[in-house]
Structures are given as structure tokens and as C-alpha cells.
């Protein structure tokens, strides 16, 4: 049988003199401080002073909350007292916001241990590592990801859902309809003779029209409705819990409002043609096909009109 030998962790330890220990503490790049039971700084190493921007003499004798933002002082003071009075020898590693002498807020990771001095009184030794840059990078990365996520689901010009995200939302709403046997209607609309606006006033004014019209429509629908730019000058409004008659009423009101609202600096009259359809237990594709045909009939009828889809599923 092989003999199992447990390694002695102190096997290679060379005993350090108090002078050597002080050298190690002074040279370490980790901020270290010792506070007494009242939370008063008794020792701070150079890395600690350097990080906070204080001279050692400015910290010794002060309460440790000098380096804590006002809003967290009471809480941290209480945690300090609890730790000093408690049983645990180690405090959990935690992230904190701290305040340097120049007022700058930084983020640290702090770990602490409770030790007893020669006088038998408990003290807290805190080890501080600056993670401000890492935190900033994380924040920037988070913002960049949020921006990418927004771009992936929204149309850049109008800010509303893009086609891909809109069709996913439609699918979800149709599933809800099936499960709970509720109503759902859709309105598909397209700006009339938009090419003429682009050709006459330029693409920039065309973009302004798209933005202003989107704003007008967004202001005129319910907060539960979902507005989608399908592409170009074609849009979809998903109206959960709305029957065909109400959807038609809403679409026609929007049509009239659009026609009556001068758009852009050229005060252009811009009209739209729309189709309206209700969910009839068929697929997303079928619903879109029906509403598209209705919109086409509205165009064919001379534009600036709303048509209801044929009643076939
Ligand atoms: N300014 C601008 N124009 C766009 C954008 N997307 C598509 N268009 C233009 O929209 C126009 C659509 O033209 P058509 O499909 O002929 O439709 P229309 O002129 O509105 O005619 P009807 O729909 O039949 O009334 C084209 O000139 C496209 O270039 C956009 O994001 N900005």
C-alpha cells in the first residue's frame, strides 16, 4: 500500500522578522489598512495611501468612512462594527464604491480579516484592489451590447421595430391568440406616391417624411399596439385584442390624420393606403398575405384609402 503523505503548508516558510514583514506590507501593490473596533485607521500602507490620494498622516486617527461616499457611510460603518464584534475571521470579498481625496469615485474589491492585537482587542485588516478600469470597461461593453441589441431589433431611421423583430412579435402575438382564444388585428400601410416625394424634394426630405409619419402614427395608436417598419415606406401595426371593426376605425382615423398633417419644412401633404385584417386561425404568412392584398386594393382604389381583407382564412 502506498503511503499517503499530507503536504505541510509551512514546510518551506522562512521566518520573517518584523522588519521584513513591514517591508512586504510597504512594497505590496495591494492597499492594506487596519482599523480598530471604533473604525479608526491605525495602519495604512503606501499602496492604500496612493490609491486614495491621502498622506498616511491624514488617514491615521480618522474614521475609515472618510474614504466612503456619504450615501454608504452608515451602512459600511454598521458592517464594520458587526464584523469586529462577530465570530467570522474573514469577511466576504465584496465590491464597493469609494471616494478618493480629490472626490473621484472609484470601485474596489475589498476582503477583510479579523485579527487580535497584542492588547487582545479585535481589529479589522482590509485588503483593497482597485477595479475601476475593469468596471468602466464592463460598463462600456454593456452599453455597446445594448446598442447592438437595439440596432438588431429596431429600424435606425424611425426607431421602431424592424421587419425581423416585428415578425417575431407578430408570431408571439398569434401564439397568444391561439392559446387564449383572443382577437388580434393588423393594419398594413404604405405611403402613397413616396417615390415622387424622393424624386422631387430629395432623399433627405423623404427620410423626414418617414420619421414624421412614424411619429404621427405612434402617437395615434394604443400603447399595447406594436408598430413595425416592414421595409421602405411599408409599415405594420399589430393590434392585440382588437377586432376588425375597431382596427378599421383606427386605421381610417390615422389615414385622415396623416392626410391633414403637413409634413416637413415643405409642408407636404402625404397620404397613406392601408389594409386591415383579423387573425383567423391561420399562419403569420397567411395573415400578412391577406392584409397585403387588402392594402393593394386600397392603392388600386385610388390611394388614400383603407380596405378590409377578404373574409377567407
Ligand atoms: N427617403 C427614403 N426613401 C426610401 C426609403 N426606403 C425606400 N424608399 C423609397 O420609397 C420609394 C417607394 O416607391 P414605390 O415602391 O414606387 O412606391 P410609391 O412611390 O410610394 O408608390 P405607391 O406605393 O404605388 O403609392 C422608392 O423611391 C424608394 O427608394 C428610405 O428609407 N428613405
Domains of the chain with CATH codes = 18-135 (3.30.450.20), 155-308 (3.30.70.270)
* Ligand 1 and 190: CB distance under 6 A: yes
Helix (H, G, I), strand (E, B) or coil at 185: strand
For 106, 235, 282, the CA distances from 269, given in Å and listed in that order, are: 55, 18, 37
d(CA 135, CA 69): 17
Rounded (5°) CA angle 153-155-156: 115
Residues noted as catalytic: 233
CA 273 to ligand 1: nearest atom: 25
294 C-alpha vs ligand 1 centroid, how far in Å?
A: 19
232 C-alpha vs ligand 1 centroid, how far in Å?
A: 6
Give Cβ neighbours of residue 49 (< 8 Å, ≥ 6 apart). Answer: 55, 56, 59
Q: Which of 98, 125, 96, 102 is nearest to 30 (CA)?
A: 125
285 burial type by CB count under 10 A (0-12 exposed, 13-18 middle, 19+ buried): exposed
* Ligand 1 and 164: CB distance under 6 A: no
* Ligand 1 and 230: CB distance under 6 A: no
CB contact burial 241-252 (16+ within 10 A = b; e otherwise) = bbebeebbebbe
* ipTM of the prediction: 0.93
pLDDT given for residue 7 in this prediction: 61
Helix (H, G, I), strand (E, B) or coil at 3: coil
Element (H, E) at 65: none
For 189, 202, 213, 263, the CA distances from 207, given in Å and listed in that order, are: 17, 9, 10, 11
Helix (H, G, I), strand (E, B) or coil at 43: strand
* Ligand 1 and 193: CB distance under 6 A: yes
pLDDT given for residue 112 in this prediction: 94
Ligand 1: residue of 191, 199, 206 to mutate (most ligand atoms within 8 A of CB) is 206
Consecutive 10-residue runs of the chain (313 residues): their mean pLDDT?
55 73 91 96 96 97 96 93 86 90 95 90 94 93 94 96 96 92 96 97 98 98 97 97 96 98 97 95 90 97 96 58
* Ligand 1 and 195: CB distance under 6 A: yes
Q: Which of 115, 116, 59 is nearest to 91 (CA)?
A: 115
* Ligand 1 and 208: CB distance under 6 A: no
Helix residue ranges per DSSP H, the chain:
18-27, 46-52, 56-59, 70-85, 132-153, 163-180, 194-201, 203-220, 244-260, 284-300
| Structural Rg of the chain based on CA atoms | 34
Q: Encode 211-261 in three state secondary structure.
A: HHHHHHHHHHCCCCCEEEEEECCEEEEEEECCCHHHHHHHHHHHHHHHHHC
* Ligand 1 and 209: CB distance under 6 A: no
Give Cβ neighbours of residue 91 (< 8 Å, ≥ 6 apart). Answer: 83, 110, 111, 112, 113, 114, 124
Give Cβ neighbours of residue 106 (< 8 Å, ≥ 6 apart). Answer: 51, 97, 98, 99, 100, 130, 132
202 C-alpha vs ligand 1 centroid, how far in Å?
A: 12
31 burial type by CB count under 10 A (0-12 exposed, 13-18 middle, 19+ buried): buried
Nearest-CA residue for ligand 1 atom 4 is 232
d(CA 28, CA 32): 9
CA 157 to ligand 1: nearest atom: 31
Nearest-CA residue for ligand 1 atom 26 is 195
DSSP string, 117-145: -TTS-EEEEEEEEE-HHHHHHHHHHHHHH
Amino acid at each position: 500500500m502506498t503511503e499517503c503523505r499530507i503536504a505541510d503548508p509551512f514546510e518551506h516558510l522562512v521566518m520573517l522578522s518584523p522588519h521584513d514583514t513591514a517591508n512586504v506590507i510597504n512594497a505590496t501593490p495591494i492597499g492594506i489598512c487596519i482599523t480598530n473596533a471604533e473604525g479608526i485607521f491605525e495602519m495604512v500602507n503606501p499602496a492604500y495611501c496612493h490609491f486614495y490620494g491621502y498622506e498616511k498622516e491624514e488617514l491615521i486617527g480618522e474614521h475609515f468612512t472618510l474614504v466612503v461616499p456619504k450615501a454608504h457611510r452608515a451602512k459600511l460603518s454598521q458592517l464594520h462594527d458587526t464584523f469586529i464584534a462577530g465570530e467570522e475571521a474573514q469577511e466576504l470579498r465584496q465590491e464597493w464604491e469609494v471616494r478618493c481625496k480629490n472626490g473621484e469615485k472609484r470601485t474596489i474589491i475589498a476582503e477583510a480579516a479579523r485579527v487580535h492585537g497584542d492588547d487582545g482587542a479585535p481589529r479589522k485588516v482590509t485588503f483593497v484592489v482597485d477595479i475601476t478600469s475593469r468596471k468602466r470597461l464592463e460598463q462600456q461593453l454593456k452599453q455597446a451590447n445594448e446598442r447592438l441589441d437595439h440596432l438588431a431589433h429596431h429600424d435606425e431611421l424611425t426607431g421602431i421595430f424592424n421587419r425581423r423583430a416585428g415578425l417575431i412579435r407578430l408570431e408571439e402575438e398569434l401564439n397568444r391568440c391561439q392559446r387564449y382564444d383572443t382577437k388580434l388585428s393588423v393594419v398594413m400601410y404604405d405611403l402613397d406616391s413616396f417615390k415622387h416625394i424622393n424624386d422631387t424634394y430629395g432623399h433627405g426630405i423623404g427620410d423626414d417624411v418617414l420619421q414624421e409619419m412614424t411619429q404621427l402614427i405612434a402617437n395615434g395608436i394604443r400603447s399595447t399596439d406594436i408598430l413595425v417598419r416592414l421595409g421602405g415606406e411599408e409599415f405594420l401595426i399589430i393590434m392585440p385584442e382588437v377586432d376588425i371593426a375597431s382596427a378599421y376605425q383606427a386605421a381610417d382615423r390615422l389615414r385622415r390624420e396623416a392626410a391633414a398633417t403637413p409634413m416637413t419644412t415643405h409642408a407636404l401633404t402625404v397620404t397613406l393606403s392601408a389594409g386591415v385584417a383579423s387573425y383567423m386561425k391561420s399562419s403569420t404568412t397567411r395573415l400578412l398575405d391577406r392584409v397585403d392584398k387588402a392594402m393593394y386594393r386600397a392603392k388600386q382604389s385610388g390611394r388614400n384609402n383603407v380596405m378590409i381583407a377578404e373574409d377567407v382564412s
